[in-house]
Amino acid sequence: MSHKVILVMLDGLNYQVARHALGHLQAFCAAGRAALYKLECELPALSRPLYETILTGITPIDSGIVNNDVVRLSSGSSVFHYARSAGLKTAAAAYHWISELYNRAPFDAGRDRHTSDASLPIQYGHFYYADHYPDSHLFADAESLRRVHQPDFLLVHPMNIDDAGHKHGLDSSQYRNSARSADVLLANYLQRWLDDGYQILVTADHGMNNDRSHNGLLPEEREVPLFVLGDAFSLSANAQPSQLQLCGTICELLSAHHDKPVCRELLK
């Protein structure tokens, strides 16, 4: 059975803050309609390398996307590629590095900010390039793509939590409040997405530290949440998913052929 999937990647959201600050998502968990897992991100705990890890199931040392300054197309196969090979429709509302990894590099705002090209791995996209681009606008961008194109796979990737962490650090009201704001925004969409038949994963690339950065092995930099919602998930407390299994597990949900590791226990 094939499903439509929405992947929400809340950039820079640490697990402990996700656990206590995301009240709407935790209400789904308390009602037995979602489950929260703890993932340990691959290394280094940096954005561009881990976008590639999440979307291709390949570690940064193997992908070659080893830091944020590597500006080139991914040489791996991503969820977007597997979905396209299966004849599925793809879309993303995301930071411009996602466009650079899977569509075209370097990013040319006039050409790439709004993308509509059925021949590209990400066929429909709205890509932003300011870290303070409001999450409220980003979620609206994503919802617009969803309503207009009805993609089988949609990536939703807001940046304000990471931006607050770089300005104020992990242990700050600004960082925690930006996580709470993302949850309030998600509350506008989650039930609608579920009612339209989407399976939903909400995760983060990496966490945040008190030095207003992230790269290494501190638990607060490395531990990130994975919430799953939808009737294709087992919600089993025994599942132990890893970041490397997200790509393959999403492809299983899409019924798209792939050759990546899967967390079977996450699925029914």
- What is the contact mask toward Zn ion in residues 10 to 49, using x (rule: CB under 5 A)? --x-------------------------------------
Q: Pick from 50, 32, 66, 45: which is nearest to 246 by CA?
A: 50
Question: Least distance from C-beta 12 to Zn ion, angstroms?
Answer: 5
Q: Is the CB of 141 or the CB of 162 nearer to Zn ion? A: 162
Query: Segment near Zn ion (CB under 5 A), from 6-14, 68-76, 131-139, 170-178?
Result: 6-14
Q: How many CB atoms lie within 10 A of CB 73?
A: 12
Q: How many CB atoms lie within 10 A of CB 33?
A: 16
- Cα torsion angle, 67, 73, 76, 77, sign: positive
Secondary structure (3-state) at 267: strand
Query: Segment near Zn ion (CB under 5 A), from 7-15, 36-44, 148-156, 238-246?
Result: 7-15
Alpha helices per DSSP H over the chain: 15-21, 23-30, 47-56, 60-63, 79-85, 96-102, 109-112, 135-149, 160-168, 173-187, 190-195, 219-222, 246-254
Q: How many residues bind Zn ion (CB under 5 A)?
A: 2
Contact (Cβ atoms closer than 8 angstroms) between residue 224 and residue 14: yes
Question: Least distance from C-beta 68 to Zn ion, angstroms?
Answer: 8
- What is the contact mask toward Zn ion in residues 115 to 154, using x (rule: CB under 5 A)? ----------------------------------------
162 is a contact residue toward Zn ion (CB under 5 A): yes
Q: Is the CB of 41 or the CB of 200 nearer to Zn ion? A: 41
Using CB under 5 A, list all residues that contact Zn ion: 12, 162
